[in-house]
Amino acid sequence: MKEKRNMSGSRAVSVLMAVVMLCSVLVLVPDEAKAAEYSFNSTGTSSVTIPDSGSTKTTGQYNWIKFRPKKTGSVTITVSNASASAKYTNGNIVLCDASKQFLDYTADYYTTSKPADTRYSNITYGVKAKTTYYFRVENNAGVSIKATVTAISKKNAGKTRKKAKTLARNKEIKGVIVAEDKTADWYKINLPKSKRILLSYSVKTNGWDGSAEIKDGIRITFCDSMGRQFAKNAYDDLTREKTKNSVTYHLTKKKSEKKLPLNPGTYYVKVERLNKYSSGEYTLKWQTT
């Protein structure tokens, strides 16, 4: 009887060990299937390094970087090579919401093979304070990703033409178009005397697939006193490929190319996303000529 009880005890121990091992497998499998997850700081500059072993080419999984900005503004992503074997790295980054759903239908392309051309390694998004975002990263080799967060106030811009904020002459102003924000930014220019207006602007934005097919960006439109587009060509679409420009606005007479000054009065500048997936920051400045 004693020997039988010992055998029963051995069986019980064996069964218990088998259950423990099975539970361990059940616990480990989901963990192993998860993609790596990192995070950026809510302010300033911070970096994430994904090693060669964490490349999507190796793991078959995307890497995720969590980000929750302290203030509304922009975040510029700068990519550099961190591979121990590859001469450069490339891939795509997509801005996502807290549920990891796309806020950007363009998988923003990057590569470190062309360091002199920043459009290949810099991507900027407009973000809202205390909102959780994720960056989905696809990389073929080790990569270092730096996030530079810039706080930009929305108070300098009006949400409608009637609430447009005055844009002072010779003063550069910085604004932001936040991801998923459907409203445009409005500014007004008060011209006391007949002059030609030179409007200069620049953007840092998202949305470039590495080819000529540009999808995202920011549109700048110069408007008359009623908020209507001043002329058929009085707008400009800026993207990661074309980041800045300046235009002189003037009057002309029929059958004449002479550039006459604008009439005194109020003019408007409208800044909006090029499509519903666009975001980023911009600058505006006007002078008279």
CB 172 within 8 A of CB 156: no
At 257 the pLDDT is 73
Residue 10 has pLDDT above 80, yes or no: no
- Tokens linked to 186: 């409005």
Residues 49 and 74 in one domain: yes
What's the sign of the alpha-carbon dihedral 232, 237, 242, 243? Answer: positive
Residue 100, domain extent: 37-151
Is 5 part of a structural domain of the chain? Answer: no
Average confidence score pLDDT of the chain: 87
Give the pLDDT band of residue 194 (cuts 50, 70, 90). Answer: very high
| Least confident segment among 2-11, 108-117, 121-130, 155-164 | 2-11
The residue behind tokens 């093979």 is 113
Give me the number of domains the chain comprises. 2
Sheet (strand 37-39) strand order: 37-39, 63-67, 133-139, 90-96, 108-111
CATH of the domain at 264: 2.60.120.380
Contacts of 83 (CB under 8 A, 6+ apart): 52, 89, 141, 142, 143
Residues 119 and 189 in one domain: no
At 233 the pLDDT is 92
In this predicted model, what pLDDT tens digit does every residue of 250-270 receive, in sequence order?
998 776 678 889 999 999 999
CB 289 within 8 A of CB 200: no
Mean pLDDT calculated for residue range 188-195: 96
At 158 the pLDDT is 96
Residues 87 and 184 in one domain: no
Decide which of 106, 125, 151 is a domain's last residue.
151
Q: What pTM did the predictor assign?
A: 0.85
